[in-house]
Amino acid sequence: MTTIDTIQPEAIDEPTPEVDDVEALDTDEDTPADALDGIAVVQVDPATVKIEANVRTQVALDAAFVRTIKRHGVLIPVLAYQEDDGTIVVRDGQRRVLAAVQAGRTAIPAYLVPARDEARLRIIQQMIANEQRSGLTETEEAAALHQLTLEGLTPTMIAKELAVKPARVKAAVAVAANEAAKAAVAKFEVTFEQALVIAEFEGDPDAVKALRRAAEYGDGDFAHEAQRQRDRKDAKAEAEATVKRLTEQGYHQIAWPSYDDKDTRPFADLTKTDGTAITEANYLSGDGHRFAVRESWRGIEVGHFVTDWKKWGLKKRKADGTANTPWTDEQKAERKELIANNKAWDSAEKVRRAWLATLLSRKTLPKDALAFAARTAATGGGQFSKEVTDRHRLARTLLGIGDFSWGGPDSLVALIEHQPGRVGHVLTALALAAHEAATGKHTWRQPSKDARAYFTALAAWGYTLSDVEQIVLSEQVATPTADLDPVTPDTDEDAEPQETEADEDEFSDAVDEDDLAA
């Protein structure tokens, strides 16, 4: 044991206690308040010290903590005293002692205080040492890591020094360089990665609110919400670009007309006096021509209309020559649900396929992954035979390898031959791609036995199903009568309400949140 220094603390003026508390004070010369007089800083062997009874009953030594001790040693001295026989007893710092032993350290610093065996002193000191600590905030950590990069350290070097993952360092540095992300970390208590996503939607309070709410439920829900917000943002940008292009061509924009607008009709509803159809080919820039843009189940939709059509001598017609039947409230509700779920499915598919690619990049697959792959191959699950014919294009994408090309080396075969340890990953990718190729917007409406088995397996492997994907596993099969997107060959379209332009206009008004009118 080597003594380094002796510290004499400065006198501290203690506040005068309240009268009611005087009897609770210990006025003896042995009061705990003077227990740290004459501290000696010494080096001790962690393997030889004795650890005093501690208020912390469970000691957690994570690998990162041990690595930092091994690389940098114990930076903050432990609190200890020496017994009559020379044994060093550690009062506070048992985690540092145990980590130093595990890391192979032979000396650690210790504050050596006069020996006192009062239980009250031990408990008070241990509670103060454990309670009166405050770690860095996320914002402070980001700023510190960013400063290290300015000092010339790479994220990999920083990660090694601090025993953290390089990805966290990179995310923290990115946050420090982004004012919106820094504000998100400080205000919303989100992770660095989530803060960077929230920063993408600076200036969009609705998106920020939705992302904050999703972050409270975990990374899985946050990923789905982030993709939905990105799709929404992309759709808005596409609509704005479309409006800009048509306006520059000299056309005039209006809000998408409601179904009860009798004076403004779409081209498809009108003809010239001689019965010639009004089309984009013969009536753009014609009398009363206006355009409108909205987001619908088809995506960004452009409509061409004629205002005051009677004034221009045009005639109105019905698309099928029969009377238009107004949509019922039930049909409108079903159509609204269908459009929302179709959009949600598109967003979920992007998240799901990104998750599958991550799953296949891991060293270890789920225990039953190969059994799942074998069962798929044996039964032709999903679109297995079609994927074989298509040269497993989707599987190659999930594995992150090149596409098949005639006359050139086959990247899939090369992976099998040169990395035999990943053959199981290849088989699993082929099976997953077969099932994935069979999914689509129809899956949530009419889930097959294969689809239920597929999404059950994904959920068991750790994938967070979105709300629309959860429908696949529900007992109730969704079969909207107002289905706008028939995808299965045996769909009985005649059993569904016949759609006309008037129907579409009526529903457009009912689902006004999908409109992107100027």
Please provide the average confidence, as pLDDT, over all residues in the chain.
77
410 to 247, 373, 415: CA distances (angstroms): 49, 21, 9
Specify the pTM: 0.52
- Break the chain into its structural domains and give their ranges: 2-131, 138-235, 251-327+504-514, 337-496
How far is the C-alpha of 86 from the C-alpha of 117, rounded, in Å?
A: 15
| Cα angle 29-32-35, degrees, rounded to a multiple of 5 | 85
pLDDT at 312 over 90: yes
The architecture of the domain spanning 2-131 is: Alpha-Beta Complex (3.90)
Distant-in-sequence, close-in-space partners of 301: CB < 8 Å, separation ≥ 6:
293, 294, 295
Structure tokens at 442: 């129809």
pLDDT at 258: 92
Q: What is the pLDDT of residues 160-213, one digit of tens each?
A: 676 677 777 777 777 777 777 777 777 777 788 888 888 888 888 899 889 988
pLDDT at 238 over 70: yes
Q: What is the pLDDT of residues 251-261, one digit of tens each?
A: 999 999 998 89
How far is the C-alpha of 232 from the C-alpha of 225, rounded, in Å?
A: 10
